[in-house]
Amino acid sequence: MIEIPRLPLADWIDAGLDALTDHFASATKLVSDVVETGIEGAVDGLMWLPPWVSILLVAALAWRLAGRRTALLALLGLGLLWNLDLWEPTLQTLVLVLISTLVAVAIGAPLGIFAAISGGVYRVLFPILDFMQTMPAFVYLIPAIPFFGLGPVAAVFSTVIFAMPPAIRLTTLGIRQVPADLVEAADAFGSTKWQKLVKVQLPLAVPTIMAGINQTIMLALSMVVIAAMIGAQGLGGEVWRAIQRNEAGMGFEAGIAVVVLAMILDRITQGIVRTKPGSAS
Amino acid sequence: MSVEQSVKMAVRGLTKIFGDAPEEALELLRQGETKQSILERTGQTVGVADASFDVYEGEILVVMGLSGSGKSSLIRCLNRLNEPTSGEILIDGQDIVGLGHRDLLEVRRRKFGMVFQHFALFPHRTIQQNVEYGLEIQGVSPAERAEKAQTALSQVGLDGWADAHPGQLSGGMQQRVGLARALAVEPDVLLMDEAFSALDPLIRRDMQQELIALQSRMQKTIVFITHDLDEALFLGNRIVLMKDARIEQIGTAEDILSSPATAYVERFVAEVDKTKVLTASAVMRRARTVAFVSDGPRTVLRKMEDEDLSLLFVVESNFRLRGVVRDDAALKAVQRGERGIQGIIEPGTEAVGLDTPVRELFAPLSESSMPAPVVDAEGRLKGMVLRASLLQGLAEQGTAPEQEEAA
| Residue A167 identity | A
- What is the rounded average pLDDT of the residues B287-313? 83
Decide if B256 is inside a domain: no
Residue B233 has pLDDT above 60, yes or no: yes
CA–CA min distance A180, chain B (Å) = 9
Decide if A92 is inside a domain: yes
Asked if the Cβ–Cβ distance from A189 to B191 is below 8 Å, we say no
Q: Is B401 exposed, middle or buried (0-12, 13-18, 19+ CB in 10 A)?
A: middle
Q: Is residue B165 within 8 angstroms of chain A, CB to CB?
A: yes
CA A164 – CA B161 distance, rounded (Å): 42
Residue B393 has a pLDDT of 60
Residues on chain B touching A192 (C-beta within 8 angstroms): 105, 137
Residue B93 has pLDDT above 60, yes or no: yes
A185, A190, A204 member nearest B124 (Cβ): A204
Decide if B299 is inside a domain: yes
Residues on chain B touching A195 (C-beta within 8 angstroms): 137
Nearest CA in chain B to A204: B124
* Nearest alpha carbon to residue A83 among A56, A52, A45: A52
Q: How are the residues of chain A apportioned to helix, strand and coil, as percentages rounded to the nearest 5?
A: 85, 0, 15
Residues on chain A touching B181 (C-beta within 8 angstroms): 189
Give the number of domains in chain A: 1
Model confidence over B29-46: pLDDT tens digits?
Answer: 888 888 888 888 888 888
Model confidence over B265-297: pLDDT tens digits?
Answer: 887 777 665 555 667 777 777 777 888 888 888
C-alpha distances out from residue B253 to A105, A183, A265, B121, B250, Å: 59, 35, 65, 32, 9
Write phi, then psi, for A108 (nearest 5 degrees).
-70, -40
Residues on chain B touching A203 (C-beta within 8 angstroms): 124
Instruction: Please spell the DSSP secondary structure of B213-258, one letter per residue.
Output: HHHHHH--EEEEEES-HHHHHHH-SEEEEEETTEEEEEE-HHHHHH
Residue B153 has a pLDDT of 92
Nearest CA in chain A to B108: A190
Walk across the sheet containing B352-353 and list its strands.
B352-353, B372-375, B381-385
Residue B405 has pLDDT above 50, yes or no: no
Q: Is residue A48 within 8 angstroms of chain B, CB to CB?
A: no
Q: Facing residues of B312 across strands? A: B325
Model confidence over A38-74: pLDDT tens digits?
Answer: 888 888 888 888 889 999 999 999 999 888 898 999 9
End-to-end Cα, chain A, rounded Å: 66
| Residue B78 identity | L
B105, B110, B123 member nearest A192 (Cβ): B105
Q: Facing residues of B239 across strands? A: B62, B251
Inter-chain contacts counted by CB atoms under 8 A, chains A and B? 66
Decide if B322 is inside a domain: yes
CA B295 distance to own-chain centroid:
36
Residue B298 has pLDDT above 80, yes or no: yes
Residues on chain A touching B107 (C-beta within 8 angstroms): 190
Instruction: Identify the domain containing residue A196 by its residue range.
Output: 22-275
Residues on chain B touching A186 (C-beta within 8 angstroms): 133
Nearest CA in chain B to A193: B105
Decide if A9 is inside a domain: no
Decide if B387 is inside a domain: yes
Residue A262 has a pLDDT of 92
Decide if A1 is inside a domain: no
Model confidence over A182-219: pLDDT tens digits?
Answer: 999 999 999 999 999 999 999 999 999 999 999 999 99
Decide if B348 is inside a domain: yes
E strand residue ranges, A39-177: none
Instruction: Identify the domain containing residue B364 by its residue range.
Output: 281-395
Give the number of domains in chain B: 1
CA A173 – CA A151 distance, rounded (Å): 35
CA A104 – CA A215 distance, rounded (Å): 11
CA–CA min distance A276, chain B (Å) = 10
* Nearest alpha carbon to residue A269 among A219, A203, A204: A219
Decide if B92 is inside a domain: no
CA A272 – CA A144 distance, rounded (Å): 33
CA A262 distance to own-chain centroid:
12
Q: Which run of H or of E encompasses B129?
A: helix B127-138
CA B304 – CA B297 distance, rounded (Å): 11
* Nearest alpha carbon to residue A174 among A93, A234, A109: A109
Q: What is the DSSP letter of A229?
A: G
Model confidence over A99-133: pLDDT tens digits?
Answer: 999 999 999 999 999 999 888 899 999 999 998 88
Model confidence over B239-262: pLDDT tens digits?
Answer: 999 988 889 889 887 778 777 888
Decide if A10 is inside a domain: no
Asked if the Cβ–Cβ distance from A184 to B106 is below 8 Å, we say no
* Nearest alpha carbon to residue A267 among A57, A79, A73, A51: A73
Mutation pick from B124, B130, B188 vs chain A, by most beta carbons of A within 10 Å, is: B124
CA B250 – CA B61 distance, rounded (Å): 10
Residues on chain B touching A204 (C-beta within 8 angstroms): 122-124
Q: Which run of H or of E encompasses B14?
A: strand B7-18
Q: How confident is the model at residue A98 (pLDDT cuts 50, 70, 90)?
A: very high
Pairing state of beta strands B321-326 and B311-315? antiparallel
Global confidence as pTM: 0.72
Walk across the sheet containing B311-315 and list its strands.
B291-292, B311-315, B321-326
Decide if B295 is inside a domain: yes
CA B266 – CA B275 distance, rounded (Å): 17
Q: Which residues contact A256 (CB under 8 A, 6 or more apart)?
A: A80
- What is the rounded average pLDDT of the residues A79-94? 91
**Higher per-residue pLDDT: B337 or A181:** A181
CA B394 – CA B275 distance, rounded (Å): 7
* Nearest alpha carbon to residue B46 among B87, B100, B88: B87
- What is the rounded average pLDDT of the residues A261-277? 82
Decide if B332 is inside a domain: yes
Nearest CA in chain A to B124: A278
Q: What is the ipTM of this complex?
A: 0.76
Q: Which of residues 177-206 of A touch B (CB under 8 A)?
A: 179, 181-182, 184-192, 195, 199-200, 203-204
* Nearest alpha carbon to residue B298 among B325, B319, B320: B325
Asked if the Cβ–Cβ distance from B137 to A181 is below 8 Å, we say no
CATH code of residue B310? 3.10.580.10
SS3 of residue B159 by DSSP = coil
Q: Is A268 exposed, middle or buried (0-12, 13-18, 19+ CB in 10 A)?
A: buried
Residue A168 has pLDDT above 90, yes or no: yes
CATH code of residue A176? 1.10.3720.10
CA–CA min distance B106, chain A (Å) = 7
Q: Which of residues 84-143 of B touch A (CB under 8 A)?
A: 105-110, 112-114, 116-118, 120, 122-125, 133-134, 136-138
Residue B382 has a pLDDT of 84
In this structure, are residues B114 and A188 in contact, taking their beta carbons and an 8 Å threshold?
Answer: yes
Decide if A115 is inside a domain: yes
Residue B389 has a pLDDT of 65
Decide if A76 is inside a domain: yes
CA–CA min distance A171, chain B (Å) = 17
CA B366 – CA B362 distance, rounded (Å): 6
Residue B341 has a pLDDT of 86
In this structure, are residues B252 and B238 in contact, taking their beta carbons and an 8 Å threshold?
Answer: yes
Residue B358 has a pLDDT of 72
